[in-house]
Amino acid sequence: MENTTFEHAKEVVMALLPEDKRRLRQWLFEEEQRQNGCAAGGEPQPTPDFEREQRWLSEHQRKYVGQWVALDGDRLLSHGEDLNRVFNEAQAQGVKAPFTAFIEDPNQPWMGGW
């Protein structure tokens, strides 16, 4: 893409459906791991499949609508409306890179646009 800015990319991401946002998050994680592995000259690290996190989300997300959650596998580390606080609380428990997700309200109509 020519002349793509962060702000434009952010608008596009905000318009994605929750499943596509999850896929994008996983792709970004895998891309970062691939780049870090190549930059360090070592073997690329296996990428997590987030299966336990996805199972936890499907079982518990109704309790946390409108909030961010931080997970380590199927363990809830923190939740709340402030992503920075949730992330920092999760890291304070010794998890370097917690899985985070915003729980959309499934009853709200999806709105997209540019």
What share of the chain in percent tops pLDDT 90?
A: 44
pTM: 0.59
| Cβ neighbours of residue 93 closer than 8 Å, sequence gap 6 or more | 72, 77, 78
Note the pLDDT tens digit of each residue in 30-51: 777 777 765 555 565 566 788 9
The CA-CA-CA angle for residues 86, 62, 13, to 5°, reads 60
Per-residue model confidence as pLDDT tens digits over 84-114: 999 999 999 999 889 999 998 878 776 665 5
pLDDT for the residue numbered 1: 46
